[in-house]
Amino acid sequence: MDKPKILVLCTGNSCRSHMAEGFLKMKVGDLYDVQSAGAKPSGYVHPVAQKVMSEIGVDLTGHESKHLDEFLEDEVETVITVCDNAEGCCPTFKGEKNHFCWTFDDPADAEGSDEEVEQEFRRIRDQICDQFEDYAERLRKS
């Protein structure tokens, strides 16, 4: 039997959605098929997102930036948008039973030194992990 699909969406599918996807896969990947996509995919996964996620044991090196249209024919049980733009242009997916909008600042907009940019990515990573840890706990109990 196929696992229920959770789709995490943002605009560029380069940072926030991949951080959320990687973290959630680590927490519930045995129970759910967790994927991510973007409304306007950037075509890459941000290297600083990869770095800060690796610091907590989440490997994003195999991730690819994808367009949300790739999932329109799939049965998607849960859609989670992590930015307002994606929420505003999000279609309804076949089989969608749950929809959440949890907005996070875009760390790709961070400016400053390399260390300051990395600190912003860590701040967003920690917010995402806190939100998705609570969600993963609810999923494991259901």
Identify the CATH number of the domain in which residue 114 sits: 3.40.50.2300
The 8 Å CB, 24+ separation contacts for 71-76 are 71/5, 71/7, 71/35, 71/37, 74/5, 75/2, 75/5, 76/5, 76/6, 76/7
Residue 66 pLDDT greater than 70, yes or no: yes
- Give the per-residue pLDDT at 142: 86
Total structural domains within the chain? 1
**46 DSSP 8-state letter:** -
pLDDT digits (tens, 9 = 90+) for 6-65: 999 999 999 999 999 999 999 999 999 999 999 999 999 999 999 999 999 999 999 999
Give the Cα separation of 123 and 107 in Å (integer): 9
Give the Cα separation of 127 and 99 in Å (integer): 19
Range of the domain at 94: 5-141
- Give the per-residue pLDDT at 32: 97
User: Rounded to the nearest 5°, which phi and psi values hold at 102?
Assistant: -120, 100
Rounded (5°) CA angle 38-44-46:
100
Give the Cα separation of 127 and 2 in Å (integer): 30
Residue 1 pLDDT greater than 80, yes or no: no
Please state at what angle helix 47-54 crosses helix 16-28, rounded to 10 degrees.
30
For residues 35 and 6, the answer to whether their CB atoms sit within 8 Å is: yes
pLDDT digits (tens, 9 = 90+) for 79-132: 999 999 888 888 999 999 999 999 999 999 999 999 999 999 999 999 999 999
Q: Which residues are catalytic?
A: 10, 83, 90
